[in-house]
Amino acid sequence: MKFILGAIGVIIVVFFLLGLKSQKGKAKGLVDGHLAAPGSAPNCVSSEVDVQPEKKVAPLNGTLDAIKAAIIETGGTITSETPNYVSATYMSSIFKFVDDVEIRHDKENIWHIRSASRVGYSDRGVNRKRVEAIRAEIK
């Protein structure tokens, strides 16, 4: 029993430290005028580039003000903003993992979106659900 409790304690500490580490990063930003491509890990979704189907989401439709309001309403904190680009962070409630959301204006009311975890291999679908929550809030 002591071993199990000790192992659980170690796991909690590791997750806590990963959460602290994720708080020190920042969004990838624009790369040649586009959102950064997702990495190889299944912890990011994007509308910007041709990626594997499991990482692809549709761009957002709406005004910049509506999208920013949707980000805030879904728990995001806007960290930087220009007329054509916005970055925001979301923090998980238990271990304080930070995820980044970025949007880039394409044309008219079309905005490309990227949502990515800063640490960890898999996001267990969290980033896709976040994008869909933002999309639902815009409507």
Can you list the domains of the chain with their CATH numbers?
2-138 (3.30.310)
So what's the pLDDT on residue 110? 96
pTM above 0.95, yes or no: no
Strand partners, 46: 56, 114
So what's the pLDDT on residue 8? 64
So what's the pLDDT on residue 59? 97
So what's the pLDDT on residue 18? 47
In this prediction, the residues of the chain whose per-residue pLDDT falls under 50 are 10, 12-24
H-helix or E-strand containing 40?
none
Specify the DSSP class assigned to residue 41: S
Q: Contact at 8 Å (CB) between 134 and 69?
A: no
Q: Considering only CA atoms, which of 1, 27, 4 is closest in space to residue 98?
A: 27
